[in-house]
Amino acid sequence: MTKPKIAVIVGSIRPTRFGDKPAKWIADHAAARGDIDVEIVDLADYPLPLFDAAASDAWMPTPNETAAKWQAKLNEFDGYIFVTAEYNRSVPGALKNAIDWAYTPFIKKAAAFVAYGSVGGARAVEHLRNIMVEVQAVPVRQGIHIGGSDFMPIMMGQQSWDDAKGKFDMFVPDLLDNLVWWTNATKAARTADAAAATKAA
């Protein structure tokens, strides 16, 4: 079996965002394992309109060219790490909109979470877990939560992420171990389902 491929999705598109920093950090940790391939996928590279299709891609081909490219990119992966801010006790609107544009790529794939906000982005992640269940993904229990006292000094230029990130390193192995386990399990199951469908055809 080829190595599974994991997308680290940067879930904020604001020009002053913090999310690209922990995204690179977790991607570097993931790539260092050697048992998965990792790629950062930035929502800012996919200027999606507000979801306005007659139905989701679960029911009809998408009518929007950018959304089709976004779906195609997501289809390249076997699992996902969402790096999300918390906006008003939930996920950024851009991230929710991007997921609304792409239902089928997430089906029967694993997802993990790195979040930041006043309470470590915990409320955003709880919403995101439920969203992942609805798109038939498998959200892992583990998450990494970066609190406001950690990221606000970075946003204000008082501290660098390079100085702060070390305190979160201890949480990475558990998150990645579980993500990789579930990614391998779901990939094997999808492969078996595809083989069975081909045999039955």
- Quick one: which of 9, 158, 128 has its CA closest to 79? 9
| pTM for the whole structure | 0.95
- CA dist 6 and 27 (Å) reads 9
How many other C-beta atoms can be found within 10 angstroms of the C-beta atom of residue 67? Answer: 22
- CA dist 121 and 14 (Å) reads 16
pLDDT digits (tens, 9 = 90+) for 16-58: 899 999 999 999 999 999 999 999 999 999 999 999 999 999 9
What residues form DSSP beta bridges with 146? 116
pLDDT digits (tens, 9 = 90+) for 101-127: 999 999 999 999 999 998 999 999 999
pLDDT digits (tens, 9 = 90+) for 172-187: 999 999 999 999 999 9
